Amino acid sequence: MTDNAVYKKLQNGSDIRGVAVAGVKGEAVNLTARRVAQIGGAFVTFLAERSGRAAGDLKIAVGHDSRISAPELKEAFLQGLAGQGVAAMDCGLASTPAMFMSTVFEEMQTDGAVMLTASHLPYNRNGLKFFTPDGGLEKADIAKILDIAAKEETVPGGAADVKEYNLMGLYTAHLRRLICKELNMPETARPFEGMHIVVDAGNGAGGFFVTDILRPLGADTAGSRFLEPDGMFPNHVPNPEDKAAMASVKEAVLKNRADLGLIFDTDVDRMSAVLADGTEVNRNALIAMMAAILAPDYPKSTIVTDSVTSDELTEFLEEELHLVHHRYMRGYKNVINECMRLNKSLVMSPLAIETSGHGALSENYYLDDGAYLAVKLLTAAAKARRRGKTLASLIEKLREPAEACEYRLAISGTTDVQAYGAGVLDGLEKAALDARIPIATPSYEGVRLCFSQGWALLRMSLHDPDMPLNIESREAGGCAKIKAAVYDLLKAWEHLDSTALL
């Protein structure tokens, strides 16, 4: 494989991800310190071209999560910046949203920022997320940076022009001010006095939420767990979509009789919650909760979600909250960009949110920020408490599907996976029409089939050579019936492995 091909392989949508630590069988290191230094130099070239400014005039912030490869890769990236003559700010352990905010805070106003993280992936992985004052970079931007990194040789410099900066101090003070302002209290107040809130940080970067936000604002945080950064993630994967992770925070809530539990992913751009009775607030419930919180301030607005949300969520948003539910393509950048597009076209859209826990608000720079979502949740909880109510009351009319399942149908034996997948989707649509199975329109991703029991959505994977099939049913046993019907429509496609549907 050529060096250019290696760099291209590091692209993961609008991020860079790779293997940074040896020791896992079958996973060779490809995100090396040398390549990270090259990527650092390429980011400078990219920013200079975009801004029309000299590289030496740029200011770039660098932060990282708790991964064991962070120190080496941060040093490599900083050397890549120094080789281009850039003034760098070393922000140390940070969250991804805080790194974007380095471009916003008056005290910093950086021209760009990078976060070393691979989100919830295993300990041997790492990656980079990039920001400018306009937000996160797009897929095409990442491709350009990697192309520059492969072609231009960066001579690493020293670290003489690197300054350490307490970004997280600025960021957490900002969040505390937002909470007090929302609750009409002075900045010196303790609005969470009498509230018991536990946090499960999964040994990622999210422990600050306890030490720098909840405790200073008066909350009892006894029973919080795994706050210490540990890049081996010894207790569970820091991922709100992971069943073991959600079970961990649920146990902490019930064991300590807490009012609320919060869980973050490794770099704190995602979150989910658990209510006092153990009810999990994730996926549909998280979307419904955030929409219910925002609805009074954004009446009749549009909520943008990914494509796999439930019909029951649509009913709650539209019939109970009188909002518009806009299902769009999966991928947090996709839903964020659609939310931005709607607002630019004068369609009010305050929230772009995925079932994964990525949620971005128009009032917060369209930034997917798990800590900001937690702030909105906590202020709503404090307001409900004043009225003698609980957060649960906000979504008490939300129904869930009786059954839900997902299958990943591999594509193999063909040189052009994307073209073959497109053909499968076209063929599925035609076969469904012939079988008189209704097709939901518009569909911004894949083909959604409507059945009396529920629905099925087949789409192309964002990154892998397979086709995810999501099925939901309003009645017990409905998924099996829908699965059988979909198998009959797909079984003729020889390069699509649909045996999982048998």
Could you give the 3-state DSSP secondary structure of residue 157?
A: coil
Q: Within 13 Å of residue 415, how many CA atoms lie on the same side as its CB?
A: 0
- Cα 34 to chain center, whole Å? 28
DSSP of 212-263? IIITTTT-B-TT-B--S--TT--SS-S-TT-HHHHHHHHHHHHHHT-SEEEE
Q: Which of 202-237 are b and which e, b meaning 16 or more Cβ less than 10 Å from the residue's Cβ?
A: bbbbbbbbbebbbbebebbbebbbbbebbbebebbb
Neighbouring C-beta atoms of residue 161, cutoff 10 Å: 14
Q: Would you report the helix, strand and coil content of the chain in percent, each value rounded to 5? A: 40, 20, 40
- Cα 146 to chain center, whole Å? 22
Neighbouring C-beta atoms of residue 458, cutoff 10 Å: 25
CA distance 224 to 207: 9
Q: Note the maximum CA span of the chain.
A: 69
C-alpha angle 239-243-247 in degrees, rounded to nearest 5: 100
The residue count of the chain comes to 502
DSSP of 317-341? IIIIS--EEEE--SSHHHHHHHHHH
CA distance 116 to 64: 4
Residue 255 · residue 222 · CB < 8 Å: no
CB-count burial class (<10 Å; 0-12, 13-18, 19+) for 276:
middle
Catalytic site includes residue 307: no
- Cα 134 to chain center, whole Å? 18
Residue 127: C-alpha distances to residues 74, 145, 235 (Å): 11, 14, 22
C-alpha angle 394-384-319 in degrees, rounded to nearest 5: 20
CA distance 379 to 373: 10
**Catalytic residue among 14, 102, 119, 498, which?**
119
CA distance 381 to 421: 45
Encoded tokens for 174: 């900002």
Neighbouring C-beta atoms of residue 153, cutoff 10 Å: 8
CA distance 214 to 279: 21
* β-pairing verdict for 112-116 and 59-64: parallel
* Residues acting as catalytic residues: 119
